[in-house]
C-alpha cells in the first residue's frame, strides 16, 4: 500500500477522488530525482562526481552511516520578479542517491566539494586495503 492508496482509503467514500488528486499534487511538488554520477577508481581510492545543477551548499546533505553513503539535495527554482510561471514540469526537485561503501574505503576521511553544480566526493582507501608490493626473499 503506498501513501496515495492509504490516504484514499481513510477518506469518506465520496471524497476519495479528491484525496487521491491532492496526494498526486503533493507528490508532483516534491519530485525525487537520481542525479547522474561518474565514479573513478585508482590505487588511492574512488572519486565520485554527481551532477546537482543549481543546488546551493545549504541545501546539500552528504552522510555516511553504517557503510552507506547518502547524497540528498534540494533545488528551489525561483521565478524571476515580474514573471509568471506558465509551465513547470519540476517545481522543487529533490535529488537523492545512495551507495554502499566497501569496507576497503575510509569513510571518516571523505572529502566533499561542490563547484559549479557538480559535487565531487573523494573517498580514500584504508591504508591496509591499498595494494602493495611484497618482496620475496630467496632462501
In the chain, domain spans: 1-30, 32-129
Can you give the pTM of this predicted structure?
0.68
pLDDT band (50, 70, 90) for residue 136: very high
CATH code for the part of the protein at 32-129: 2.60.40.790
* C-alpha cell, 87: 509551465
pLDDT band (50, 70, 90) for residue 10: very low
Q: State the average pLDDT over residues 69-76.
A: 90
Task: Tell me the chain's radius of gyration from C-alpha atoms.
Answer: 22
Give yes or no for residue 76 having a pLDDT over 90. Answer: no
Rounded to the nearest 5 percent, the helix, strand and coil shares of the chain are: 25, 35, 40
Asked if residues 90 and 123 have their Cβ atoms less than 8 Å apart, the reply is: no
Amino acid at each position: 500500500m503506498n501513501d496515495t492508496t492509504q490516504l484514499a482509503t481513510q477518506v469518506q467514500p465520496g471524497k476519495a477522488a479528491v484525496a487521491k488528486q491532492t496526494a498526486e499534487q503533493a507528490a508532483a511538488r516534491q519530485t525525487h530525482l537520481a542525479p547522474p554520477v561518474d565514479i573513478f577508481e585508482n590505487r588511492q581510492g574512488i572519486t565520485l562526481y554527481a551532477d546537482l545543477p543549481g543546488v546551493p551548499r545549504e541545501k546539500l546533505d552528504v552522510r555516511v552511516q553504517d557503510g552507506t553513503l547518502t547524497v540528498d539535495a534540494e533545488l528551489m527554482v525561483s521565478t524571476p520578479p515580474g514573471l509568471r510561471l506558465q509551465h513547470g514540469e519540476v517545481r522543487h526537485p529533490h535529488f537523492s542517491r545512495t551507495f554502499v561503501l566497501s569496507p576497503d574505503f575510509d569513510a571518516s576521511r571523505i572529502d566533499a566539494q561542490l563547484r559549479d553544480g557538480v559535487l565531487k566526493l573523494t573517498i580514500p582507501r584504508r591504508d591496509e586495503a591499498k595494494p602493495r608490493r611484497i618482496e620475496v626473499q630467496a632462501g
